[in-house]
């Protein structure tokens, strides 16, 4: 399945690659596994935060399109070609849970997405195909690895376009669990993600949006995965998000990558002075933001604090996952498209529920779950990335 990240490229109007399948289009301006001067990530400095989207929130920033707010919550509406309304949280978390109450958008080729994304291209996804009102797709990526597309698993949902459902990702250093209305449908253990090397484990922010995977200008594989070409004459296509609750198992003012390993043990929660916080916030605002799917992080200098806090294992969950086999297809590397294509052929693995691996051209994602971490004093706030 194409991922939410693909939308970044779409909104930027980049040209899609010629590959028949669209790769996970993760986007980052500064990958901490490749550079040592990436800015710190502004963190959620409290245990939890709940957003009522019947009105606009300062904790989120629109990175593409226009989002309206009403009695049904935030409205992500595609009314014509090229629209891909998206918001992004103004903070990162390091292990925690993300709970979204929503209705998916209808429409062939329309993709409603909830994605967690890190600077080094760890990702966890929920995605909904507008042409299929019976399932949702779960997916994940580790370090932007698109050498295989065998992670997407589909699960049945009762009328996700017309009924309110709550979708939760619980993310710890041990496992990631996807739940629908309180029932766990999938569990990915650390060891099941290539021995942990592809297990999402670095600070992530949350992106929510609606985009047209079926736009006629997208690669054939993306359109096929999305369920067919989008007919804009049938617009508008609206996704509704009523509320989002986010728990951070490692509250801090910022997170610092202390080396290029991309492991959770290398992440240092920071708590510092107001000057340190301002520096980190400024750094995080200077990057090129890309809409819903892409990691758009700043490429300016590091804004580290004076903290000496250390990381201890935030793991408390010990879930295991049984592997559900599936067919996988080839995919490319970061491709982009004018309408937000995503990542190539997604199939399935690691499930302890009755999920179905659909042999469609799809893929993308990363993950969210639960854990405990250790942290110190106070560091401060951050600002959102803008396109």
Is 127 an active-site residue?
Answer: yes
Helices within the chain (DSSP H only): 4-12, 220-226, 274-285
- The secondary structure of residue 84, as a DSSP letter, is -
Please compute Rg for the chain using Cα positions. Answer: 18
Active-site pick, 99, 117, 123, 137? 123
Assigned token pair, 340: 């937000």
Answer yes or no: 123 catalytic. Answer: yes
Q: Which of 69, 44, 40 minimizes the C-alpha distance to 56?
A: 69
- Rounded distance, CA 89 to CA 381, Å? 12
Neighbour tally for 328: CB within 10 Å: 21
The DSSP output letter for 166 is E
DSSP string computed for 328-369: -----SS---TT---BS-------SS--B---SS-B-----B
Partners of 127 in beta bridges: 113, 137
- Strand pairing of 135-141 and 123-129? antiparallel
Query: Taking a C-beta distance cutoff of 8 angstroms, is the pair 135, 63 a contact?
Result: no
In this structure, is the dihedral angle defined by the CA atoms of residues 357, 360, 361 and 363, taken in order, positive or negative? negative
Active-site option among 127, 137, 220, 229: 127
Give CA–CA dist 180/165, Å, rounded.
7
Q: Which two tokens stand for residue 19?
A: 């590959």
Task: Spell 26-59 as b/e; 16+ CB within 10 A means b.
Answer: bbbbbbbbeeeebbbbbbbbeeebebebeeebeb
Residues forming beta bridges with residue 170, ordered by sequence position:
97, 369
Q: Which residues are catalytic?
A: 123, 127
């Amino acid at each position: 399945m194409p991922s939410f990240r693909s939308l970044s490229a779409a909104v930027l109007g980049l040209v899609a690659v010629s590959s028949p399948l669209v790769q996970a289009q993760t986007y980052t301006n500064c990958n901490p596994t490749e550079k040592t001067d990436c800015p710190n990530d502004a963190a959620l400095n409290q245990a939890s935060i709940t957003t009522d989207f019947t009105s606009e929130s300062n904790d989120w920033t629109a990175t593409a399109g226009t989002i309206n707010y009403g009695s049904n919550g935030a409205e992500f509406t595609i009314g014509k070609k090229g629209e891909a309304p998206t918001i992004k949280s103004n903070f990162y978390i390091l292990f925690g849970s993300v709970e979204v109450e929503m209705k998916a958008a209808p429409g062939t080729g329309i993709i409603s997405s909830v994605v967690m994304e890190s600077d080094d291209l760890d990702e966890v996804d929920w995605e909904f195909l507008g042409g299929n009102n019976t399932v949702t797709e779960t997916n994940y990526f580790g370090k932007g690895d698109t050498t295989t597309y065998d992670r997407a698993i589909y699960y049945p949902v009762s009328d996700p376009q017309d009924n309110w459902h709550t979708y939760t990702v619980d993310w710890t250093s041990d496992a990631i669990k996807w739940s629908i209305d309180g029932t766990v449908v999938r569990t990915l253990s650390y060891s099941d993600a290539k021995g942990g090397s592809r297990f999402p484990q670095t600070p992530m922010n949350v992106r929510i949006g609606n985009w047209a995977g079926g736009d006629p200008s997208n690669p054939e594989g993306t359109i096929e995965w999305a369920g067919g070409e989008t007919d804009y004459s049938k617009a508008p296509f609206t996704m509704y998000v009523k509320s989002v609750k986010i728990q951070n198992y490692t509250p801090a003012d910022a997170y610092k990558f202390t080396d290029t390993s991309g492991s959770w043990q290398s992440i240092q929660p920071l708590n510092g002075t107001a000057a340190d916080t301002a520096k980190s916030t400024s750094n995080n605002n200077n990057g090129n933001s890309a809409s819903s799917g892409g990691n758009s992080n700043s490429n300016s200098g590091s804004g580290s604090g004076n903290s000496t806090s250390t990381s201890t294992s935030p793991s408390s969950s010990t879930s295991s996952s049984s592997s559900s086999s599936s067919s996988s297809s080839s995919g490319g590397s970061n491709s982009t498209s004018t309408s937000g294509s995503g990542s190539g052929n997604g199939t399935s693995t690691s499930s302890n529920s009755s999920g179905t691996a659909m042999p469609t051209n799809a893929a993308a994602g990363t993950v969210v779950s639960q854990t405990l971490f250790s942290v110190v004093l106070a560091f401060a706030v951050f600002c959102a990335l803008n396109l």
